[in-house]
Structures are given as C-alpha cells and as structure tokens.
Amino acid sequence: MPLREIIIGRDQDDREKYGKKGSIYFGKHLVGEGKDSNLTNPVYLDVARPHVSLICGKRGQGKSYTGAVIAEEFFRLPDEIRQNLSMLLIDTMGIWWSLKNPNEQQIGLLKKWGLDPRKFDASVYVPKGFKEEYEKKDVPFDDSFSIRASELSAEDWSLAFGISLVDPLGVLLERVIRRLEESENYGIEEIIETIQRDERASEDVKQGLENRFLSAEEWGIFSKEGLSIEEILSPGKVSVLDVSYFGHMSSGWSVRGLLVGLLSRRIYRKRVEARRKEEISTIRGRKKIDIPMTWVVIDEAHQFLPDEGKTPASDPLKTLVKEGRQPGISVVFITQRPGRIHPDAISQSDLIISHRLTARPDFEALRNIMQTYMTFDIKKYINNLPRKKGSAIVLDDNSERIYSIKVRPRMSWHAGGTPSAFEDEEEF
C-alpha cells in the first residue's frame, strides 16, 4: 500500500494545486504511543508560503537540530523555487557553522532514512571585531559583519545600555542622537564627540554616557560600512549570523538584541519595497526579484522577545510576527522556554513544533492556544511521544490537524550535541 504524504503548513487548496512542490522533507509520521509507535508516512513542510513557526522543547530534545534540518532542505529545493527564497539563521550558540561539514558519524542511520552525509554551502558571518579570535579557534566562516551606529535610535541605545530615556543619561542620549540625525553616517567616535560638546548636561552625566559608548565600541560590531541586507539575503542563499561570541560579555544579550532588532527592521523594510516592485512587475508581465521571500530562524528566541520587559529586538520582531506575512517574511522562533516568550509569538504561529516539555509554565503557554481540533490536552499529546530525540508534535493551523512526527536525521554535522563519554552512534 503506497504511503500517503503529509504536508504540514499547507491548506487543502494548495495541496490539490501543487502537491508537494515547494515543500521540504521534514521527517516521518509517528503512529502509536510511546514505545509502541512506528514511523510511517513521510512528512513535508511547506516553504512556498510565509509562516510564523514556533519550535520548542526542553534542553537536548532537538530544537536547534530541527532548525538545521529546515536549513539543509533549502539547499535541496529545485532552483526555480530556491531562487525565490533566502534564509537567515541567528546563531546564539555558535553551532550552525557545522552545516559546512558532512554527518559522517551517523552514516548508518542516514542510510535507514534513504539519505547520505552531505555538506552545505551556508555563508557564515562572524563579528568584525572578533574575526581574528574565530581564526585562532579555527572556526570556519565566510566573512565578518558590522552595523552602522547611525542606524540605531535613541531608544535602541537606551535598551542596550539599560537606561531610561527620562533619566539624565537618557535625556542626554536622546539629545545627542537628535543632533546627529542630520549626518548621513556617523560612528561611535562622532557620538562621543557630540556628548563632550554638550553644554547642558553635567560632567558626571556626560562621563557616564561616554563610558557606555566606549564599552559599545568594544563590542566589535560597529563600522561605517555596515552589513548589506542585499548580500546576506540574495536569492537562494542561506546565511548564518554567529552572535555566540557575545556570550562572553555581561551585556551580551543586549548586543544580540541590537543586531536582531536592526536586521528585523531592515528585512521588513526591504521586503515591503520588494513586494511592491514584484506586484508592479507581475502586472506588467515581467518578474524581477531584488530581495526574495525571506525565512528568519532565531535560536533562544525568548531572549529577544520575552514575555515580560523589552529588548531592542522586541518591537521589530512583533512587526514581523503581525505584519510580515504580507511582504513574504517567515519567522521561526526556537526556544526551550515557550512560557518565557511573548504571547504574540505563540498566538500568531500557524505552525507549532513541540518536542518534549516538562515544566508547567511551558505547558500552560501552549495550552493558551488550544484549538478546536485538539481532542485532548496538549500535555497528553506530548507525553505520548516516544522518549527519543527528534520526536515532536505538530499543531498545524493550516490543515487544522495535529501530528506526531520524528524529524529526519541531519545530513550535515551536528555541532550542538550533548558531550558523552560513550562512542556509540546516537540515534536522532
């Protein structure tokens, strides 16, 4: 009896019209409960339409692995579809560079799935100020990235520095940035000079703000050139932005938040412009793509879009979640703490992929999106999964179905696995 293909993220009309075209191989359907479950039908994931997706699960259950599988499959799409897409992975753990290496340690497992080890030509970017550190550690990368200080607002800086705009430091900050707005491009040096020339603030306040910008200069991410969105989001490209190095800094998450917030704003603005051009070109009978439909995959997403408080990335990410589908932006949030991520990231998700969870707040967060097509409590669905990495439930709002699945093994090397003293091949 032929296997029935399952395509998650795709409604009935698109399934009938396109079949599995424009979808990627994601895994297999799990039938049965616990140890008695069996792998059956192949499962595909739609990438032809924009989606907001949440991948969650406790530590070590395969969240980042699942994100890398999606990235691998982008390279296996037919050229005529892949050239209409691009992907940006925000790597907070420094593990997705391993897409460049084949998964030689799981050859036997891959054979069982009809797959072979393979490396993928992802473009890895590291912070410009720490390029030499990556070279010393022999971590492979393609280029360095930096951003323009002039693209950050006073609110961005205040969130990064942890100061209020109504405090003396914040008042001075807003005044300085306003004075510099007339300049087309300015750097940290010009900001510090403007602080020093200010005649209204006290010397203590000026010194305090100057010290913060001197610290920001040490983050190693500012230059007057900046990172080109057109380069990292060119058609068919998968880019990895490695922000793991900032974990060594006390202000590490603030720096990462600045980067993610700025990139999110740029991507949204560029895709809105590109979508307008695409529609005009379609009307005139021509097709032109500047910035293709974009997938943004964010690891440790609760750090950028928390349920409480605000980061420099919060508002830009909310814009992508609520308004990004129309211009063709897909967002994939990866987190081990769905209870700590902003409710918008969950309520706006049309695809939720949940590996095993155990914490009550995380179950409660998912319960808040209980759908009418769910027969049981979500905890029951998750607890019925086999206790093997890669097992997950999928809540698909597009087909109004729930599936238990096993994510396919990676074809490239997985650098994010838990260290072990055993030499046995670990099944995913």
The neighbour count for residue 425, using CB atoms within 10 Å, is: 11
- Per-residue pLDDT band at 32 (split at 50, 70, 90): confident
pLDDT at 279 over 50: yes
Pairing of the two strands 238-242 and 85-91: parallel
What is the arithmetic mean of pLDDT over 243-271? 89
User: In the structure encoding, which two tokens stand for residue 232, read together?
Assistant: 């990292």
Q: Which residues contact residue 256 at a Cβ distance below 8 angstroms, ignoring those fewer than 6 apart?
A: 90, 92, 243, 246, 303, 304, 313
* Domain extents in the chain: 25-147+222-352+367-407, 149-217
CA distances (Å), 94 to each of 32, 139, 240, in order?
36, 9, 9
pLDDT at 163 over 80: yes
CA dihedral 174, 175, 180, 181 (to 10 degrees): 60
Measured in whole angstroms, the distance separating CA 227 from the mean position of its chain's CA atoms is 17
- Per-residue pLDDT band at 425 (split at 50, 70, 90): very low
According to DSSP, the residues that pair with 296 across neighbouring strands are 88, 331
pLDDT reported for residue 101: 95
User: In the structure encoding, which two tokens stand for residue 209, read together?
Assistant: 């703000």
User: How would you write the chain as a 3-class SS string?
Assistant: CCCCCEEECCCHHHHHHHCCCCEEEEEEEEECCHHHCEEEEEEEEECCCCCEEEEECCCCCCHHHHHHHHHHHHHCCCHHHHCCEEEEEEECCCCHHHHHCECHHHHHHHHHCCCCCCCCCCEEEEEHHHHHHHHHCCCCCCEEECECHHHCCHHHHHHHHCCCCCCHHHHHHHHHHHHHCCCCCCCHHHHHHHHHHCCCCCHHHHHHHHHHHHHHHCCCCECCCCCCHHHHCCCCCEEEEECHHHHHCCCHHHHHHHHHHHHHHHHHHHHHHHHHHHHHHHHCCCCCCCCCEEEEEECCHHHCCECCCCCCCHHHHHHHHHHCCCCCEEEEEEECCHHHECHHHHHCCCEEEECCCCCHHHHHHHHCCCCCCCCCCHHHHHHCCCCCCCEEEEEECCCCEEEEEEECCCCECCCCCCCCCCCCCCCC
pLDDT at 423 over 70: no
The pLDDT mean for the chain works out to 90
What percent of the chain has pLDDT above 70? 93
Cβ proximity of 296 and 329 under 8 Å: yes
User: In the structure encoding, which two tokens stand for residue 369, read together?
Assistant: 């999106």
Q: Is 400 left (phi over 0), alpha (psi -120 to 50) or beta?
A: left
Question: Looking up tokens 């800086």, which residue turns up?
Answer: 157
pLDDT reported for residue 283: 66
pLDDT reported for residue 125: 96
Q: Which CATH superfamily is domain 25-147+222-352+367-407 in?
A: P-loop containing nucleotide triphosphate hydrolases (3.40.50.300)
* Per-residue pLDDT tens over the stretch 196-250: 999 999 999 999 999 999 999 989 999 887 778 888 999 999 999 999 988 877 7
CA distance 158 to 167: 10
pLDDT reported for residue 4: 85
* Per-residue pLDDT tens over the stretch 73-98: 999 999 999 999 999 999 999 999 99
The residue that leads in pLDDT, 206 or 1, is: 206
pLDDT reported for residue 168: 95
pLDDT reported for residue 2: 52
Main-chain dihedrals φ then ψ at residue 375, nearest 5 degrees: -75, -40
pLDDT at 56 over 90: yes
Exposure letters 96-120 (e unless 16+ CB within 10 A, then b): bbbbbbbbeebeebbeebebebbbb
pLDDT at 418 over 70: no
The neighbour count for residue 288, using CB atoms within 10 Å, is: 11
pLDDT reported for residue 364: 87
User: In the structure encoding, which two tokens stand for residue 377, read together?
Assistant: 């409590």
What is the arithmetic mean of pLDDT over 180-197? 92
pLDDT reported for residue 427: 58
* Per-residue pLDDT tens over the stretch 281-299: 766 666 666 789 999 999 9
pLDDT reported for residue 204: 96
CA distance 416 to 65: 8
pLDDT reported for residue 372: 66
pLDDT reported for residue 422: 46
pLDDT reported for residue 365: 86
Range from 22-31, 218-227, 266-275, 310-319 carrying the lowest mean pLDDT = 218-227
pLDDT reported for residue 419: 55
According to DSSP, the residues that pair with 305 across neighbouring strands are none
pLDDT reported for residue 248: 77
pLDDT reported for residue 278: 79
